[in-house]
Structure formats: C-alpha cells, structure tokens
Chains A and B, each alone.
Chain A
Amino acid sequence: MCLAIPGQVVELFPDQPTAAMIDVVGVRRKVDLGLLQDDLPVKGDWVLIHVGFAMSKISEADAADQMRTLRMLGEAEAAMQEIEGYGLENSDNKKAS
C-alpha cells in the first residue's frame, strides 16, 4: 500500500482550489491537492498519488519510470483499480449508493 501512482494534472477547478482532475493512463479522477498546498501544481504537471491525495510533484520522465516500476512489480493492475475506484466509483459502492 506504500506504492504511489503517477498521474498528470489535466484540469483545475477555480471553485475548488484543493482539487484537481488527474489522468492516469487515460483514466480521469479527482484527487485532493491539500498536501501540495505550499507549491500547488499547475495544469500539465505530473504528481505522485497515494490514497486519493497528490503527495509530490515529479518530472514527466520520473512519472514514466514510476509507471514502469508498478508494472514490473505486478502492481499496475491494482494501481488502476485504485484510481478507477476513487470517488466511490467501484462496484461495491455504486450498488449501494
């Protein structure tokens, strides 16, 4: 659970300064930017995401490296499942709510 997932900031929301839409290999979800409030990312920046929060800004090359590491570790599928599940978009919660 310690692995972080790389994503690109594709949209910021003027009315929600602590949220951003990120794109992880084509899947888009909202993440919290609160942990980067001292140095907020801008559109196009790459970040590492952990449990729905962007935790550090990284370079595009490092983001690609990180994705490859996840694949090599056999964690890419779990990482995508996590991203897809953000915002209660997993079947478990969709059913109930």
Chain B
Amino acid sequence: MMKFVDEFREPEVITWTSEQIRRLADPKRHYRIMEVCGGHTHAIYRFGLKDLLPSNIELIHGPGCPVCVLPMGRIDDGLSIALDPNIIFAAFGDMMRVPGTQGSPLEHKARGMDVRIVYSPSDALKLAETNPDKHVMFFAIGFETTAPSTALTLVRAKNQGIHNFSVFCNHVTIIPAIRAILDSPDMRIDAFIGPGHVSTVIGCRPYEWIAKNENKPVAVSGFEPLDILQSIVMVLRQLRDDEAKIENQYKRVVPWEGNRAALRAMADVFELRPYFEWRGLGFISQSALRIRDRYAEWDAEQRFDVPGVRVTDPKAAQCGEVLKGVLKPHQCKLFGKECTPEHPIGALMVSSEGSCAAYFNYEHRKTAMVNSITSAA
C-alpha cells in the first residue's frame, strides 16, 4: 500500500501524518471532504493519496477545473466568431482539445481556422500587435488565479491603444460554485480543502461564510502530498472538536488578505454577470465575470455577434453527476469505453485536472495493469 511513500520528500513525516489522520478519523463516521481545486484532484490521484487514508474518508472532487465547467455552447460561440478569416482565435493549450459540437479548436485549425496557442493573455495582445491586419480574439478561461492577468492585459490594450484585440471572457468565480454545491440537495460535504492558487488572489476571507453559516471547516492547501495530508488533518481536527473555521495550510504562498493589486485589476475591468451556465451545475447566479462597458471595445461579446449556443451534454455522459461528486468517474457509463483522454467526450476527460482524466491516467491504468499481470500469471 505505502510503496510510493519512500519517493516523497520527508517520507517519515508523510507516514506520521497519515497515522495522525487514522487516529483523528472516528471509525463510526464516514467523512466526505471536497477538494475544490482541479490541481489538488490531479495531485491526489498522481500521488495515490487515497491509499494513505482510512476507507471512511472519501475525497469528493470539486468544480475547480476551468476547462471542465465550461459549457460546450461557449466553445461553439467563441469558435463561431473566429469563422471570420480575419480573426485569429488565441487560447491556452488546455483549450485546444476541448470538444465543441463542430469539433475542438484544434479540429477547426485543421479545417483552416487561424488558431494559436498562447501561454499568456499578454502574448495574445502581442499577437495583435504583430498582426495589425488581423483581429486577435483571446478565449479567456479560468478562476480568480487567471482572471487578474486577463484584466491587466485589457488595461494594457486600452492604454496602448491596440484596437485589433478582444477577449471572449469565460472567467468564473469559485465562491458561488461552492455555494451551489452546498445548496444542492443530493450533496453532503463535511469539510473543504480550499484552492491554493485562487486563494493567493482572493485570500482566505471569502471562505468565512462556509464556516460561519454552513458550519463546515475549510483548509486552504498547497499541492505537495504533505500539504494535502496536513490539510486533511486540519479539517478532521476541527470536525472532532465540533469547530468550523478557515485554516491556511499554504501560508508560505497565500496571504490571508489575498493580492490587493490583483483584486483591484479585476474590479476595474470586470463586473459580475447576473448568471452563468456551468457544465454539470447549471445556471449559477453571479458566478462569472463579464467585461465592464468602459472596456466594451475589447469585449468580443459586445463587439461581435454571438449566437448564444446552448448545448446539452451527450445524454449517456454523466459529467454533471461526476462534477458534483455524486458519481465517481468510473461509475459513468462512458468512462474508459467511448470516453478516454485520447478521445474525450466530456470535458472532465480533457484536462489533466479533470477528475475523469486523473482517474483514468492513474487509477484505471493501474488497475488495468494489475489485471493483465494477474491474468498472465
């Protein structure tokens, strides 16, 4: 079971923390702890952390994977704007294989669309400067970790008077998604592992209502195996003592108050949308950002005709249930059959932070390997 522990830094601390978790977990209780961030989901599978936990601790994978929660209609909308040959569609690499109804951005590129991978929104702006006869539309995704960078890029576009550039904004905010999950009648969560890098921007205060109003512990966590295990210790200790507060396990990176300059940039450029559709969670009020009118010229949605496509997910795919943690990835009918990382049907299979891809790459392949070894023997 613990065969991977030796590969970790400070393996004895890992073992000790894992034993501490066993001592804290009441064997009569079943704990459901949600890790909100897709980066944590990836780390949990990659490091096999489940093997270090007693069986009555269940980790529920949360909505914090930007690619995974983006409804297919938004991809269709963005791509439909870029059907105009004068438009360059620029996006992060994560977006390239995400399927729209008429194919992914990469498939559109194969059909002749000018699609570019950029690693920074500021490079999309640079692309506009180097292609003055074209219009560059940056397809922006991400939570509060990424939104401030898009905001500053828009400020720079305006200040530098670059007019052949716009942003198709799909930025979302994490707090309303957590609220929607807590409000969902089929969900029972005992505690949260809070997102690490989102919190460098928003700080720890925005989670306080989860403790105060919902009486659930939160530990904002780093991404190392020990970070995640220590965060589990923090919330278990609170649950044992019947407490609910916000603890910051990732103090070395996350300031309690967040990053004020980043928050200012976001407030300057963005405002809350009245509502936004999330894949698997449906419409959530005030859960996403739109570009303020003073930046309207750089807002692709105000500048171009947007069809407003709404696409229901393939009926057989159960992305919604998996996203909410009602089903485990392998319990979906399509998992590992029609839907694989090589041929993803749902977005949870596309991103390495999606719980289906993480489960497939680590758990499923491990089981398949074990099965083939056992059957060969």
Contacts and interface: CB of A to CB of B under 8 A. Distances in A.
A50 B145 contact: yes
Interface residues of A, number: 39
B253 A37 contact: no
Nearest to B149: A53
A67 to B, nearest CB: 12
A2 to B, nearest CB: 4
B195 interface: yes
A93 B353 contact: no
Contact of B253 (A52, A58, A87, A97): A58
Contacts of A3: 39, 197, 223
Interface in A1-41: 1-4, 32, 34-38
Contact of B127 (A73, A74, A97): A97
Interface of A: 1-4, 32, 34-38, 48, 50-53, 55-56, 58-59, 62, 65, 68-69, 72-75, 81-83, 85-88, 90, 92-93, 96-97
A35 B265 contact: yes
A1 B351 contact: yes
Contacts of A36: 259, 261
Interface residues of B, number: 56
Contacts of A83: 119
Max count, chain A CB within 10 A of own CB: residue among B67, B94, B252, B351? B252
Contacts of B143: 2
A4 B259 CA distance: 15
B265 A34 contact: yes
B119 A72 contact: no
B252 A58 contact: yes
Nearest to B121: A51
Given A36-B261, A38-B260, A68-B9, A52 B123 contact: yes
